[in-house]
Amino acid sequence: MTQDEAKLKAAQRALDFVQDGMSLGLGSGTTSAIFIKQLGERVKQGLRVQGIATSDASQRLAESLSIPITTFDQCPELDIAIDGADEVGPDLALIKGGGGAMLREKIVAGAAHRFIVIADSSKLVDTLGRFPLPVEVIQMALPLVSRKLEALDLNPKLRHHPDGSLYITDEGNFILDCACGSIPDPAWTASELRGIVGVVEHGLFVNMASLALIAGDDGVREVLP
């Protein structure tokens, strides 16, 4: 099975958890985009749902498929958030933010009764940290936060687009990608990052996911924390 086929299988399985009338968190990234497209098909067939998107790109995609979009004003609680991940580690600790959307992704996941991760099996790891950990930073604080992350040996590098221009998040911030290597205690690292003024959010999701749907050659596995 190719990686794209596995992403499709995980996204399709996630649809089994969606019921008529639900409010959904719509993730970001390629796997989530596949899920949103599948959901759009169901909406076309009459499924009634509403969603809050985790990025401008996902919102545009959902709107193009006539999936109703709502806000936290109108809908402060979501039934399920469905999103991809860059790494899925023990206890379903995650690294997210490869697509730069981890701030809204964490807000949306935190507002959901269930947070379901969809991923192909290449994302499963024994220890988080092979994927660079994204840290979203207020622009004016960049030099200060960079120094603090260096002092923690996190090896931060400012994210750029492939054309060399600076990467700016949907919320107008910079991202420092930390090639820090193994993260043996994600909760500890998360709390260190949380304590740095100027850090808006980071890509460690600890104790948030309630289920991961991991697709590979052996089918779609349901992984619990």
Task: Using the minimum distance from each CB to ligand 5RP, give the nearer residue, 28 or 50.
Answer: 28
- Is 86 among the residues that bind ligand 5RP (CB under 6 A)? yes
Closest to 31 measured CA to CA, from 63, 67, 64, 58: 58
Known binding residue 30? Answer is: yes
- Is 30 among the residues that bind ligand 5RP (CB under 6 A)? yes
Catalytic residues: 105
- Is 98 among the residues that bind ligand 5RP (CB under 6 A)? yes
Residue 213 pairs with which residues in a beta bridge? 118, 222
Task: Using the minimum distance from each CB to ligand 5RP, give the nearer residue, 100 or 156.
Answer: 100
> At its nearest, how many Å lie between ligand 5RP and the CB of residue 45?
25
- Is 97 among the residues that bind ligand 5RP (CB under 6 A)? yes
Q: Write out the residues near ligand 5RP by the rule CB under 6 A.
A: 27-32, 83-86, 96-102, 105
Provide the annotated binding site for substrate.
28-31, 83-86, 96-99, 123
